[in-house]
Amino acid sequence: MKKQLLLLEDVDGLGRSGDIVTARAGFIRNFLLPMKKALVANKQILKLQQKLKVEREKQAAVDRKLAEAYAETLKDLVLEQEVKVDTEGKMYGSVTQMEIVRLLQDAGHQLERRNLLLPHPIKTLGTHTVKLRLKEGVEAEVLLKVKAEGGEKVVAAKEVKEKSE
């Protein structure tokens, strides 16, 4: 049986602070209530909802400003990834979300996989634009240059092949 709850904190996939939501009994019993992320909704708790919504709106404005400033710092960032390629210049694998997150972390930016808007892994060499979603829906972009490992050798091998044809 589902119960109505007032969220005290943002819960991914469920709602934001101050929202009235319903959830399954096990999720409520094992996660939301013990972690103090929600309260069972009653008349007194519903009065608390207005206060939480006001606080959430203030926090959202602050988060949006910070995210926009952070997006400006990411605007000029260029990441580089070397990948193995065959003699024709085709990649053996692909550049995945986790590899991009690792590159961002190496550059000093603490983002998570869920911040990347990458519908499918990158499977071609060249420059790609990677979209990011920061707090409060602010979007940012970084450039990812996918290069061949030992790039000069691959290009030379490709040119030799083209000349022989």
CATH of the domain at 13: 3.40.5.10
Residue 72 lies in a domain: no
**Residue 29: what pLDDT?**
92
Task: Compute mean pLDDT per 10 residues along the chain, 165 residues long, and list them.
Answer: 82 86 91 91 80 85 92 91 88 91 92 89 92 90 90 47 48
Q: What does pTM read for this prediction?
A: 0.67
Contacts (Cβ under 8 Å, ≥6 apart) of 54: none
Residue pair 52/6 in contact (Cβ under 8 Å)? The answer is yes
Widest pairwise Cα distance in the chain = 82
Find the helix or strand (DSSP H, E) in which 155 lies: helix 151-164
Q: What is the CATH number of the domain that holds 137?
A: 3.10.430.100
Q: Tokens in use for 161?
A: 């092949």
141: containing domain: 77-164
CA-nearest of 101, 51, 59, 63 to 79 is 101
